[in-house]
Amino acid sequence: MSLAEYEGQTALVTGAGSGIGKGAALTLARGGAYVGLLGRTEDELEETLAEIRAAGGEGMVLLADVSQEDEMAKAIDRLISERKALNIVVANAGINGTWAPIDDLKPDEFDKTIAVNLRGTYLTLHHTVRHMKKSGGSIIVISSINGTRTFTSPGATAYSATKAAQFAMVQQLALELGQHGIRINAICPGAIGTEIDDNTSMRKKAQTEVPVEFPEGDIPLTGGEAGTVEDVAEVIAFLASKASRHVTGTPIWVDGGQSLLR
């Protein structure tokens, strides 16, 4: 991939203020893409934009809650009004939410995780695909090892359900969108050094945990060291590029082999 791989293209990244979303935004901008930075925390988004501009790139801040239909419609309309086209979408915004025994997990806690992770992905695609149908492009959905290969996180029922559903959406939509020249793939990260644990609430872990003793260094490729944001961002860059032009409906586990062990 060349440094100007995405020159003239427009990308949307949700949850672009931190973690994987920020890493994806910076990487795509370095490749020449104009990046719409969507999220709820304005100061974080402005910081990402400042870093993009300092490196010679360009983009815009789009304030919106991915679970809110009106906010998403307005934010994406703003991006299209500015750029007239959309080529790359990274549906990344998500939360861990509450991890608790199913009989202790409150309906509103379940609903919040579903709203952000699953409804948020739906709204992102609902409001972007209509524009991408004009020129084709690439959609990358950030799922997880949880719900796709791994089911050992205590109490993570709501979270795992949303990640499994994202995976199913990707495969379903690969067929629906292929005729429009739109590719859609899933990235399933394992342990990555981000701040997502900050929005995790865990209760009664011992009641749902199945006692298992994992070997030392349960991420085989790195001897137990978590992956980095850059590890994921570079796979996003590949899936957004022409190098992956014949890849769609495909999951890529970015976990150093962790999910195979767990």
pLDDT digits (tens, 9 = 90+) for 81-118: 999 999 999 999 999 999 999 999 999 999 999 999 99
CA atoms within 13 A on the CB side of 72: 22
Asked whether residue 4 is assigned to any structural domain, the reply reads: no
> Three-class SS of residue 101?
coil
pLDDT digits (tens, 9 = 90+) for 215-232: 555 787 677 788 999 999
Which residues are catalytically annotated? 159, 163
pLDDT at residue 260, rounded to an integer: 83
Task: Give the number of other CB atoms < 10 A from CB of residue 199.
Answer: 14
CATH code, 168: 3.40.50.720
Asked whether residue 3 is assigned to any structural domain, the reply reads: no
pLDDT at residue 210, rounded to an integer: 53
Q: Judge whether residue 11 has pLDDT over 80.
A: yes
Asked whether residue 224 is assigned to any structural domain, the reply reads: yes
Q: For residue 126, what are the domain limits?
A: 10-261
**Six-digit token pair at 251?**
């999951």
pLDDT digits (tens, 9 = 90+) for 25-41: 999 999 999 999 999 99
Cα 127 to chain centroid, rounded: 16
Higher-confidence residue of 215 and 130: namely 130
State the average pLDDT over residues 106-131: 98
Higher-confidence residue of 206 and 43: namely 43
Asked whether residue 53 is assigned to any structural domain, the reply reads: yes
pLDDT at residue 105, rounded to an integer: 96
Q: Judge whether residue 211 has pLDDT over 80.
A: no
- CB proximity list for 149: less than 8 A, separation 6 or greater: 188, 253, 259, 260, 262
Q: Indicate the range of 23-27, 138-142, 192-196, 258-262 predicted with least confidence.
A: 192-196
Asked whether residue 153 is assigned to any structural domain, the reply reads: yes
Residue 193's pLDDT band, with cuts at 50, 70 and 90, is: confident
**Six-digit token pair at 129?**
């695909």
- pTM as predicted: 0.91
Q: What is the mean pLDDT of the chain?
A: 92
For residue 139, count CB atoms less than 10 angstroms from its CB and return exposed for 0-12, middle for 13-18, buried for 19 or more.
Answer: buried
The dihedrals phi and psi of 201, each to the nearest 5 degrees, come to -115, 120
What's the total number of domains in the chain?
1
- The rounded distance, in Å, linking the Cα atoms of 178 and 259 is 29
Asked whether residue 2 is assigned to any structural domain, the reply reads: no
Asked whether residue 164 is assigned to any structural domain, the reply reads: yes
pLDDT at residue 205, rounded to an integer: 52
Residue 131's pLDDT band, with cuts at 50, 70 and 90, is: very high
State the average pLDDT over residues 66-76: 98
Asked whether residue 181 is assigned to any structural domain, the reply reads: yes
